[in-house]
Amino acid sequence: MFKKILIASTLLATVINANASSSAFGVTGTIAPDACNVALTGGAVNLGSISTSLIKTYAVVGTSYAMPNVLVPISIICSAPTKVEVSFVDNKPGKTFALDANDAIRYGMVDGAGTAAIGSFQISFVNTVIDTVAVGQFLNAPNNTTSWTGTGPNNLPAYYAAPGYTIGFAKLAGATTPDSFTTLAGSLIMTSYISTAYVKGATSAITPSGSGTLTLVYI
């Protein structure tokens, strides 16, 4: 009896295997982030045609002339409440003319297609509103991280848009992480500095050239 049962079981297994079939399974689809767009009105600031005699009347900071501040309106519009921040990169790294201990927040500047540093510029947020509420807390983190703090490089206020750093926005003072928002409106203050020695030694027109890249980061 035992042998008959064993043989029957073996035959049944053979029949089951002979009729086996297979079918693939898995996961597919698309997950799309809510779209956000950033706009800078006149992001490439043109300092205009200025005589060296006029520049020499500007305030001197360290060994540089401080050019007049320029306001650049900025807006971010998202299709839905989104946790989006703004990162900054210097397109002329290593070309920042030494000014003071806060050079880490500034961007490089050369003369036209030249390679020597002749100055620098810095930018910061002002009058910034998210979803009709004034930003109560700016947050700062090194690019590609979420190590948020309420200060930037050298313990400066977090609203300074330093190269290599990302700025987040929160509605309440003392917040430790950024908020989601649908709209942001405000301005960037751009302040440029040009070496006094370079201006005084100029024998031809100076064409200051500096730039950075602003990128929206979804977190």
Residues 6+ apart with CB under 8 A from 154: 101, 102, 104, 105
Task: Provide mean pLDDT across the span 106-118.
Answer: 91
Q: Which pLDDT score, from 0 to 100, does residue 164 have?
A: 96
| Residue pair 150/188 in contact by the 8 Å Cβ criterion | no
Q: Which one is predicted more confidently, 8 or 43?
A: 43
Domain ranges of the chain: 33-218
For the stretch 75-87, pLDDT in tens is 999 999 999 999 9
Question: How far apart, in Å, are the Cα atoms of 105 and each of 22, 34, 99, 157, 184?
Answer: 61, 31, 11, 11, 23
CATH pick for 33-218 out of 3.40.50.2000, 2.60.40.1090, 3.40.30.10, 2.40.100.10 = 2.60.40.1090
Positive or negative: CA dihedral 134, 139, 144, 146: negative
Show the 3-state SS of 32-63: CCCCEEEEECCCCCCCCCCCHHHHCCCCEECC
d(CA 194, CA 189): 17
E strand or H helix at 123: strand 117-130
Q: Which one is predicted more confidently, 128 or 3?
A: 128
Enter the tokens of residue 98. Answer: 């030494």
Task: Provide mean pLDDT across the span 108-135.
Answer: 93
Q: Which pLDDT score, from 0 to 100, does residue 113 have?
A: 86
